[in-house]
Amino acid sequence: EAQVTQNPRYLITVTGKKLTVTCSQNMNHEYMSWYRQDPGLGLRQIYYSMNVEVTDKGDVPEGYKVSRKEKRNFPLILESPSPNQTSLYFCASSRALGEKLFFGSGTQLSVL
């Protein structure tokens, strides 16, 4: 089944403790992206990747890092999480930029 898989689904952590949210897609998509969803703000793009080893900042990249060493994986790294990064995070992929986006099921992160 074609899908975008995020892990974990839920994560509670404390300020400053490094964490990684994994994202994997099995559709051989070139484009991958991370979004955060907050009440009243909709989905905002954090980082995106056009292809392997090519990443770029979205609208809200501060406090986040990404890497794209393989086509299928696009992990989101929070080196020193802060409470304002408490949010619902979505990974998405598409065959190419501008084509249909497929979203993962989300990761609910709480930073205490």
Partner 1 sequence: TQLLEQSPQFLSIQEGENLTVYCNSSSVFSSLQWYRQEPGEGPVLLVTVVTGGEVKKLKRLTFQFGDARKDSSLHITAAQPGDTGLYLCAGRGSGSRLTFGEGTQLTVNP
How far is 57 from 54, CA to CA, in rounded Å?
Answer: 11
* Signed CA dihedral, 33, 92, 9, 43: sign only: positive
Query: Taking the complex as a whole, how short is the minimal distance between the CB of residue 14 and partner 1, in angstroms?
Result: 25
Restricting to residues 6-45, name those near partner 1 by CB under 8 A: 35, 40-45
Rounded to 10 degrees, what is the CA torsion of 47, 103, 97, 32?
Answer: 40
Query: Taking the complex as a whole, how short is the minimal distance between the CB of residue 97 and partner 1, in angstroms?
Result: 5
Tokens representing 17? 């403790």
Q: Identify which of residues 103 and 110 has a Cβ nearer to partner 1 in the complex.
A: 103
**Site residues (CB under 8 A) for partner 1?**
4, 35, 40-45, 59, 90, 92, 97-98, 100-101, 103-106
